[in-house]
Amino acid sequence: MNTQRLQHVVPATIIFGLSIIVAWLSFTEEPAAAYTFPRIISIIFIALAVWNFIRAATGLSRVGRGIDFGEAKNILPGMVIMLLLVFWGAKALGFYVASSIAFFAAYSFYDPTPLSSVKDWAKRAVVTLLFMTVIYVLFSSVLQVHTPRGLFF
């Protein structure tokens, strides 16, 4: 298998594995009614992951060159923030508080504006507040999804 195809197959395999884990978790948690939305999403996630894996394994996905070390290094801080949110923050602090902190941290890390500007810190805070308000309304009111409750909310 050539390097270019390998750069497509490895991420496709990881995504397929994650889709299986997400589906397994959504189907083994109780109460079942609280996990209806995650179950639907996980089934769609598996279908897309299988399609992506087949395209990568057969060589149909010829777009892009894969991820090189420099790009992986740029992605790593965001991945660390998200892993902390998923495996610790959501249960310890509560979904909305931990997600707000994670969004603000990722936004601050990747925002190209200077970290010394008070105006830019205020903009980050306002954007985080607006984004999390939309997420709260969407999850709580529209979808009626039960999110992890933690120390704060």
Residue 47 inside a domain? The answer is: yes
Residue 103 inside a domain? The answer is: yes
In 85-149, where does DSSP find H-type helix?
90-93, 95-110, 118-136
CA distance 71 to 64: 13
CA distance 120 to 150: 30
Q: What pLDDT digit, counting tens, does each position of 105-119 carry?
A: 999 888 888 888 899
Q: Which helix (H) or strand (E) holds 88?
A: none
Handedness of CA 34, 142, 22, 109 (dihedral sign): negative
Q: Are residues 95 and 145 in the same domain?
A: yes
Low-confidence ranges of the chain (pLDDT < 70): 1-4, 62-67, 148, 150-153
Q: Are residues 60 and 97 in the same domain?
A: no
- Tokens for 39? 């179950």
